[in-house]
Structure 1
Amino acid sequence: MQTKTIGLLGGIGWASTAEYYRIINESIVAREGDGHSARIVLHSMDQHDFTSRAGDPQAIVPFLAAQVARLKEGGADFFLFCANGAHRFVPALLPLVDLPFVSIVDATAARVQASGLRKVGLLGVKQTMAGSFYHERLAAHGIETITPSPAEQDEVHDIIYRELVHNRITDASRGRFVGIIGRLALDGAQGCILGCTEIPLLVGQGDVAIPVFDTTRIHCEAAVALALDKHR
């Protein structure tokens, strides 16, 4: 039986979407051996098409449903958003699409729960840090989520949109993220969720003292597990 075809809805932004393609294929090779690669249908949106509609649920949800339909037409067996923030639209979107969905939030929550940590920091764009979708999912597992101060949330959000989505990586911004994670640790965070798929481009486990949860990699691993399910 052949592997399932993974549908990737990307472009928000392109740099992290490229990481999805790389990590998924590396994971397939690691599990299936050289000579194999992932079956992937990738639909990369123009980031402006997403951001210009994101403030209007009546515009963004039908737009996203149309993009998912393209993945299904291309042969995808299930789909992923290559972004954390877009998951805030999932409850309204899923009733409009006919394709199974792999949630970055669910995959990350399961990984945090398995780690045994009870209090974690959350970094991402403002809509992710201030929104309920991560906080509620983790709270259901008895895990408390904390976020940086409002000023630091502004800084994190700005670095993501001014630099990381354009694949601009600087030591200065890395230092700022490391400092913010350090302050979350002082506030009791036992680990930190890198809740934007661009953040792992900037900072990783080797940069900080507490465990970090790379949501890009976690999401890719969940996709590979489903793609290979019942493969053998």
Structure 2
Amino acid sequence: MRTLGMIGGTSWHSTIMYYRLINELVGEKIGTGANPPLIIHSINIQLMREQNKEKINTKYLEVSQKLQNAGAEAIVICANTPHMVYSYVQPKIKIPILHIGDAVGKEAARLSLSKLGLLGNKPTMTGSFISGFLEKEYGIETIIPIEENIERSHYYVSQELTQGKFTDEAKDFYLEQIKLLHERGAQGIILGCTELPILIQQGHIDIPLLESTNLHAQLAADFILGKE
């Protein structure tokens, strides 16, 4: 098995999900009597809340270099939003960062989906680090909610979901957003917040949900097992 470096902490709930999923997915292949070699560095989530891009880039580069020097053969960033650092960090290290967009793009291609709705916090929805990656690498169009609902989604993610709070109000809001995105042509929905799959499951809607966390964890497991 190959050694994987994990950058977590944004949030720690997300990191736990990644750690569990990667171990479970690898365990399905090697048996539960063994586990994969993982190196975890957890970053204080306050760094992301400061929204200082230069500071965030610098920290993620520093951590990536530490993981590389510690023996990691690839890195997985255990959340959606921190992928904003990918274009800055990847050229400066010698090992690959397994991009969450690749995980989503491969699944969308498998399902023959060319237009996806994207839900998450404001940076994830309005930034290009996922939507732009999907368009460039997979030719997938991404659509997002209207401005006022972007702000409301950001509130739920930053003030509730990443702090372990899951309410019926938030669930109803996201189900309504999925309906509206579908009406605008979305063939599937990217759950672009690691905690969203805790709130919304496939049984709640009739179009495909692309759970970025699960798909990303599978990409990580495939790397560990040499399957990618």
Q: TM-score, normalised by structure 1?
A: 0.92
Separation in 2, partners of 1:111, 1:94: 23
CA contact under 8 A between 1:84 and 1:105: conserved in structure 2? no
User: Would you say 1:39 and 2:33 are equivalent positions?
Assistant: no
Separation in 2, partners of 1:154, 1:50: 17
Separation in 2, partners of 1:137, 1:79: 18
Matches within 5 A, 1:201-216: 201-216=198-213
Q: 1:12-70 deviations in whole A, cap 9, x for unaligned?
A: 01101100011011101111122121211111111113432x3232x222211111122
User: Would you say 1:107 and 2:103 are equivalent positions?
Assistant: yes
Matches within 5 A, 1:57-96: 57=54, 59-96=55-92
- State the one-letter code of the partner of 2:190: I
Separation in 1, partners of 2:72, 2:156: 33
User: What SS class does the counterpart of residue 179 from structure 1 fall into?
Assistant: helix
- State the one-letter code of the partner of 1:16: S
CA contact under 8 A between 1:169 and 1:202: conserved in structure 2? yes
Partner of 2:197: 200
Partner of 2:120: 124
**Runs of 4+ residues over 6 Å off in structure 1:** none
Query: Is there any run of 5+ residues in structure 2 with no aligned partner, and where?
Result: none
Separation in 1, partners of 2:222, 2:43: 25
- State the one-letter code of the partner of 1:22: R
Separation in 2, partners of 1:180, 1:19: 24
Q: 1:173-210 deviations in whole A, cap 9, x for unaligned?
A: 11111111111111111110011212112112122221
User: What SS class does the counterpart of residue 130 from structure 2 fall into?
Assistant: helix
Partner of 2:226: 229
- State the one-letter code of the partner of 2:161: L
**% identity of equivalent residues:** 34
- State the one-letter code of the partner of 1:63: K
- State the one-letter code of the partner of 1:15: H
CA contact under 8 A between 2:4 and 2:38: conserved in structure 1? yes
Partner of 1:164: 161
CA contact under 8 A between 1:108 and 1:219: conserved in structure 2? yes
- State the one-letter code of the partner of 2:93: V
Q: TM-score, normalised by structure 2?
A: 0.93
Count how many residue pairs are aligned between Structure 1 and Structure 2: 226
Query: Is there any run of 5+ residues in structure 1 with no aligned partner, and where?
Result: none
